[in-house]
Structure 1
Amino acid sequence: MSRTKNVALVVEDDPTLLDLITETIESLGHEVRSASSQEDALSLVEDTMFDYVLLDLKIPLREGRLPRLEIGFTLLERIVSLPDARRPGVIVMTAHGDDHEYCRRALRDGADDFIKKPFDSGKESPETAIKKLLSRRSEERYEAVELPGLAAGEGRGRPASRELSVDQGPPAIHLVGTYDRRRCNLEVNGKELLLSEQRFRLFARLAVHAKRSPGQHLSLLDVPEIQSGTRQALNRLRKDLEAQVPGFWDRWIRNDGHGSYCLQIPGDSITYDADSMAAHPELLTILRT
């Protein structure tokens, strides 16, 4: 029997905020479980398939311990490393929202969205974030099964893109980097691909390295976009690329067996849109040097 209600996990050690968030979720008709520590949250995640998680970044390891930001980031990494079939959407909550590095790090580490505390009743409320997340995940599931075998966008009012064959010569890579529902785009032989920001930045690093140092491998330990969860980020990038351009990964990306990767495409086949890549200044700076 399929579930009729969304099931949420709230990880929050402040009882007042927990009550507020729980009421909000229940008002949406969703079921709620709660945890106040990393230990309790992991126990629940192992036993229950959640649709989404609201995660306070500053939580204790277990009851009676002091809350720390690193505990929340570690829990985030554990949750997003779950198999795709079990991986819930994750909205992180933080009172450190004015420090944008925490927010950027959470998104790099796999969070789907973040909201600042204290909450407001507008665009950054828990209710708004939950609805936006569920809508986006529903769209992604629909796109994944809507028209199997067609290129992204075909059959939905877009012109068909040129198919990429692994038997062709090196494909043309064009880094665009504009945002579409928190995803970033690039083109492979004129075909638009959409990747999460973290996966786009990881692919862009490989492309930049191929352009500047052809044939040389890049150690993922040197990629700031994935300070943690390296293997998970790489696996998700591979799945995304294979879903949108079958055969691309095995044909054009090589692993040296020691955690370094090489995009085997000539530098003159890699271009970028300087205006839109301005949204990623550190990458644009490297491309221009």
Structure 2
Amino acid sequence: MTAQSSLAFVVDDEPAMLDIVTFALETQGFTTESFRSAEAAWSALERSRPDLVVLDIMLPGISGISLCQRIKARWEVPVMLVTAKGEVSDRIAGLEAEADDYVAKPFHPRELALRAQRLVRRTDSSRIVVTAGIRLELDPGSHDVIVGTERVSLTNTEYKLLAALIAHPNSPLDFSQLLLMCWGEYDRHGDREMIKAAIYRMRHKLEATVPGSAAAIESVRGTGYLLRADR
């Protein structure tokens, strides 16, 4: 997806800043929806997923950091944090909340828009892989994977695991890495069996939809999995 067809949610309690950010994004081809609070943005996110969220840290009620954490816990949506503060502590808080980028006020509107374009392009490229001539594309809005031209419904666990594998094609990921990437946790008792069961179900779904597609996910004996992609 290109920025010309991308939807950005902009969240800021200051009307003037909302106007600046939305204008900057729209001049680069984004479609925008504006929200004055984290609560309003969250309600909209539960109905539909944008390609990007541009989020002010200092919001009334639920903070921008808290909203970023909520978004990242549920969806693969890139988040750019915007704040009047430039302190290191704010940047660290943003990184800990898994924000994808950070812009401090005052900023040049074109710089913000170009950063937004980069985030969307980077996210798109990490959702698509071709393996044995078969195209796999993640749909973050529905948590489906499109295999060739066929859509396959995945559970949240299956989707997270496949997203991690697609983002690191031809690279073995051990169980600890998968747990950390998908849930921010380290290896615990029973987690490996959960991953094995989810991978087994996912392979079965892929193969039943497009024969040969399940072979893309290879077991790395005793350690984890990798997704074999065409070079």
Q: Which residue of 2 aligns with 1:120?
A: 108
TM-score of the superposition, structure 2-length normalised?
0.57
- Match of 2:5, SS state, is coil
Q: Which has the higher contact order (CA 8 A, sep 6+)?
A: 2
Matched, 1:131 2:117: yes
Q: Which residue of 1 aligns with 2:138?
A: none
- Match of 2:10, SS state, is strand
Equivalent residue letter for 1:94: T
Matched, 1:108 2:96: yes
- Larger-gyration structure (1/2): 1
What's the Cα RMSD here?
3.6
Q: Which residue of 1 aligns with 2:55?
A: 55
Take 1:131 and 1:21, find their aligned partners in 2: how far apart are those partners?
13
Q: Which residue of 1 aligns with 2:82?
A: 93
Say if 1:95 and 1:251 are closer, same or farther in 2 by CA, change over 3 A.
Answer: closer
Question: Any stretches of 5+ residues in structure 2 without a counterpart?
Answer: 133-156, 179-185, 192-231
Take 2:104 and 2:88, find their aligned partners in 1: how far apart are those partners?
11
Alignment partner of 1:74 out of 49, 66, 72: 66
The answer on whether the counterparts of 1:242 and 1:248 sit within 8 Å (CA) in structure 2 is no
Q: Which residue of 1 aligns with 2:75?
A: 83
Take 1:43 and 1:126, find their aligned partners in 2: how far apart are those partners?
25
- After superposition, residues 141-180 of structure 1 pair within 5 angstroms as 141=127, 144-145=128-129, 147-148=130-131
Over residues 179-199 of structure 1, what are the superposed CA-to-partner deviations in whole Å (9 max), with x where a residue is unaligned? xxxxxxxxxxxxxxxxxxxxx
The answer on whether the counterparts of 1:242 and 1:249 sit within 8 Å (CA) in structure 2 is no
Q: Which residue of 2 aligns with 1:255?
A: 188
Alignment length, in residue pairs? 157
Equivalent residue letter for 2:174: F
Shift of 1:250: 7.3
Shift of 1:17: 0.9
Take 1:244 and 1:82, find their aligned partners in 2: how far apart are those partners?
26
Over residues 55-100 of structure 1, what are the superposed CA-to-partner deviations in whole Å (9 max), with x where a residue is unaligned? 0000012xxxxxxxx711110111111234xx3x110001112x11
Q: Which residue of 2 aligns with 1:12?
A: 12
Shift of 1:239: 3.5
TM-score of the superposition, structure 1-length normalised?
0.46
Say if 1:109 and 1:244 are closer, same or farther in 2 by CA, change over 3 A.
Answer: farther
Shift of 1:148: 2.7
Take 2:94 and 2:175, find their aligned partners in 1: how far apart are those partners?
26
